[in-house]
Amino acid sequence: MNYRLVTMFNIKRLVQFAFKNNKKIIIRKYTPNLKLKSDQICNKLMLRNSKDGSIIRLRIEDLSQDIFEEFLDFTMNYFVKEEITHKIAGIIKDPEAMKEYREISTEIFKSPSIITKLYIIDDETNCNGKIVGASMTKLITSVEDTDDDIIAKTEAMKRYVHILTTFNKMYGIADVMRTYNVNCYLEDLGMIVHPEYRSIGIALFEEEARLLICKQLNIPLAGAWCTSRKSQKIGKERHWITAFETPYKKIESLLGISFDGIDIPPTCKYMVYKIE
């Protein structure tokens, strides 16, 4: 098996090397039907655990039907239960809302416009492996590329859809395209890492992989809602730019929902990284 050993230091070096030698990279103009495959970066890697020095072998796979239910389980356990907008909506407090969320997610993540990559423990004795990371992105090419048409039934899911549509009205696709003069960009839909594997650099590797793909395919911008203190701190450290921000107090007023008991930063930010 061909593995690439990646440490917190050489992730950046790896991508910097690719950027500086871009004549050796196949550069292609963006085409609407292009699929962004994980094997454009690499599909096997080893990450060193900074806590004990152990090596974690991973493989990167595109989401397939064979592992779809495990991916949904992973999403429900470590995204819906932890991400701020899901907490605000109260989805985890309502079993029926959790069920509805899963049903809606099943349809959303089957869409060819959603790019989902899984980081899986590469145990050669077990072809299925354990999912320890998941990356969800969407290539935005039109102001119509929103999820505002979700029809919810439970009260918690209605609140969640209301949150999404409110965010999109505050700063929508048209605002991003107009502000940065782009006709497409890569939108983050979520990066999930299993709690036991959050110190080995999966999210950092994935961020660099996304930016390298954007570089290869001439996608000029990457964007992400940074709703938590941690995501905003990491974005700032990684030189992402705050494109738009709104105080959470104002968002509370717009939504008519209290954020009491939820640890939130002063503002909600939409951050971007310009590909140069």
User: Residue 72: which pLDDT band, with cuts at 50, 70 and 90?
Assistant: very high
pLDDT at 10 over 80: no
Q: Is 129 left (phi over 0), alpha (psi -120 to 50) or beta?
A: left
Q: Are 135 and 203 in contact, with CB atoms under 8 Å apart?
A: no
pLDDT at 159 over 60: yes
Amino acid identity of residue 109, one-letter, is F
pLDDT, tens only, 109-121: 988 888 999 999 9
pLDDT at 42: 57
User: Residue 136: which pLDDT band, with cuts at 50, 70 and 90?
Assistant: very high
Q: Over pLDDT 70: what percentage of the chain?
A: 82
Nearest CA-CA partner of 262 in 75, 73, 93, 94: 93
Q: What is the pTM of this model?
A: 0.82
5 vs 241, higher pLDDT:
241
Cα-based angle 275, 268, 144 (whole degrees, multiple of 5): 60
pLDDT at 90: 94
- Which residues on adjacent β-strands are paired with residue 137? 115, 188
Domains belonging to the chain, first-starting first, are: 4-274 (3.40.630.30)
Nearest CA-CA partner of 16 in 185, 206, 208, 213: 208
Q: Measure CA 158 to chain center.
A: 23
H helix runs in 35-94, sequence order:
68-75, 84-89
pLDDT at 144 over 50: yes
Average confidence (pLDDT) over 5-15: 42
pLDDT, tens only, 172-200: 899 999 999 999 999 999 999 999 999 89
Mean pLDDT for the chain overall = 84
